[in-house]
A and B are shown apart, each in its own frame.
Chain A
């Protein structure tokens, strides 16, 4: 079993496998996880592939342990990842908050299935979108991406690692069962063609280094454990030294920065895909597998002469408020198909602020939308 690096070329693989390969191409060398459908193939692929590239795989005793382990792995200086689905995602939430508070780069893939509770373990949904934003306690900024294809499970996993290193925050890949289990062509470019953001290391010597003193973009450079920096890191509210500071002032300064470092860098973080928005009367706003299904409806509507644009959210959190506000003044309505009872639609409605209608096309999960239902919603909105 010769040691070989990331794959290069064209492959037929499913979204979970593509996610694992994306992680390896991004430089992930530590994976801790716990099996759960429909994310298990990510762990299985990593168990096989990581030893081949000099990395470490461990199947932990539960999702809580998995999330804690990847935080430790990241502080140990290795790009780290876990993957799960809704019930496991819930268990990870406390330590996702710890990751946000300690400013720990790491990636969590949530391959969504239908809930609540055990729900439909093998069937698709998008019910964790708000959990991704608000699941942990307290206040923090977070980044979440939403892939629509196996190819994007690959590219967005790389993007997730890049953003997590750049902004020192857990980055969530909000996949869904459909994208994870569909097999398609996935192109893996040679490593030199990939843009990889390295860890933001401090250039200061230990005696001058303050682990939580931010750069101009509000993100503090890091030192890995074992490099002689002797720093303290805590989930408690802390000052720039990393020391606990139990005051409202310290809370204001730290938590404000944790939120601002994401919000004020939105332009750099947010990626959306737009199609024929100029001159549109209706814009369909969707993400993940729903956006892909919605395309069929959009095409059919255009054939019937409806002026309909498409806005696909690739970055879901932070939310592209500004762009939606701009569009809102020019269209009659937004149509939002999603595999839940309306999570992202609420955000669209918030940004639209009454300037256009927001029409939710909900689906409780278990299958994707019937494109005809979305088509009807588009036609109704255009009237």
Chain B
């Protein structure tokens, strides 16, 4: 599509469980696009596929794990991150990716999200944010913008939404980026980078949900929502994180916001575990 010919073609079909298709997602949903970007990123990352695991929670995005031909775990609502934490700690060779929705990761899973970021647990978290609970029929989420209508905020949402990049950065994430479902190339590059990042990497992807969010808020089809993202996204790498919250009609700030180095949980743990350090501790006591 970008005219680069051969370089542009990345075969990803082998990464899908084609015997499970067609998928369950609604027409116009952004999940297929986001998944495709992820699969391309995975191929580009050149990670050995048997050492990549994908863990998801519940909801529309939770179903991603079921369509990807990796060791894949579809767990309970909100608990993908702690499950992934156990998997990673038991098998440190694995690259463990958590692929889940905003409701799953930031509402019921909010506590796990901030603690995994605080620990700088070596995980890649992809948060598909469509501002609403899709699978249960369009209820209000912690990411629903103020005034947006949902089936449990029929008069308009009065709860301020989480600014997720700001939240996870404050908690300690070492890689934080946001794109929308129309930024497929940038998303793919970001995901490739995130897959190679050691530490807690968090990628938020703003994604259309025409069936619920779009319909209830008169935002039109999936395509119309994508056009809205195209026309209203502002790329601002390293943006001031306090200013990247998303309103109903404000521009959406996208880009790579954080890319820093900090010891991971395992780094710090092995430092404490090493006999040398124990001896050092002993000598300082004398």
Contacts and interface: CB of A to CB of B under 8 A. Distances in A.
Interface of A: 1-3, 29-30, 32, 51, 56, 58, 60-62, 64-66, 68-78, 80, 94-95, 98, 102, 224-236, 243-244
8 contacts: A62-B111, A65-B112, A71-B83, A72-B88, A76-B90, A226-B93, A230-B72, A243-B20
B66 A235 contact: no
B241 interface: no
Contact of B86 (A72, A102, A229, A234): A72
A78 to B, nearest CB: 4
Residue among A3, A30, A58, A225 with the highest chain B CB neighbour number at 10 A: A225
Contact of B66 (A51, A76, A243): A243
Interface stretch (B73-81, B154-162, B211-219): B73-81
B interface, over-half SS? helix
Nearest to A50: B273
Contacts of A94: 76
A235 B75 contact: yes
Contacts of B66: 232, 234, 243-244
A68 B86 contact: yes
Nearest to A233: B73
B51 interface: yes
Interface of B: 17, 19-20, 49-51, 53, 55, 65-66, 69-76, 79, 81-91, 93-94, 111-112, 115, 265, 269, 272-273, 275, 278
Contacts of B112: 61, 65
A94 B272 CA distance: 34
Given A74-B86, A225-B91, A235-B76, 17 more contacts: A3-B275, A30-B86, A32-B82, A32-B86, A58-B89, A60-B85, A65-B82, A75-B86, A76-B87, A76-B91, A98-B76, A226-B53, A229-B71, A230-B69, A233-B73, A235-B75, A236-B74
- Give the 8 A-B residue pairs with the shortest CB-CB distance, closest first: A76-B90, A72-B86, A69-B86, A72-B87, A76-B91, A65-B82, A73-B86, A234-B74
Given A77-B91, A226-B91, A58 B85 contact: yes
Contacts of A1: 275, 278
A70 B70 contact: no
Contact of B87 (A60, A225, A227): A225
A64 B85 CA distance: 13
A339 B194 CA distance: 53
B50 A61 contact: no
A2 B269 CA distance: 16
Contacts of B93: 226
A306 B94 CA distance: 63
A233 B275 CA distance: 38
A253 B86 CA distance: 30
Contacts of B115: 60-61, 65
B60 to A, nearest CB: 14
Contacts of A225: 53, 71, 87, 91, 94
A53 B87 CA distance: 19
B71 A230 contact: yes
Nearest to B115: A61
B50 A72 contact: no
B50 A230 contact: yes
Contact of A226 (B65, B71, B86): B71
A76 B88 contact: yes
Contacts of A74: 86, 90
Contacts of B84: 72
A68 B273 CA distance: 25
B91 A68 contact: no
Contacts of B71: 75, 225-226, 229-231
Contacts of A236: 74
Contacts of A65: 79, 81-82, 85, 111-112, 115
A68 B74 contact: no
Contacts of B91: 76-78, 224-226
A74 B273 CA distance: 22
B50 A70 contact: no
A51 B89 CA distance: 13
Contacts of B278: 1
B91 to A, nearest CB: 4
A74 B90 CA distance: 7
Contacts of B94: 76, 225-226
B86 A71 contact: yes
A35 to B, nearest CB: 15
A232 to B, nearest CB: 5
Contacts of A77: 90-91
A75 B94 CA distance: 12
A29 B90 CA distance: 8
Nearest to A70: B86
Contact of B85 (A72, A233, A234): A72
B73 A72 contact: yes
A170 to B, nearest CB: 14
Residue among B70, B86, B88, B269 with the highest chain A CB neighbour number at 10 A: B86
Contacts of A64: 79, 82
Given A61-B111, A72-B73, A228 B50 contact: yes
A98 B57 CA distance: 12
Contacts of A68: 75-76, 79, 82-83, 85-86
A26 B82 CA distance: 24
A331 B273 CA distance: 59
B41 to A, nearest CB: 18
Contacts of A232: 17, 65-66, 72-74
Nearest to B15: A230
A235 B72 CA distance: 12
Contact of B89 (A56, A228, A230): A56
A74 B278 CA distance: 29
B100 to A, nearest CB: 13
A80 B82 CA distance: 14
A160 to B, nearest CB: 18
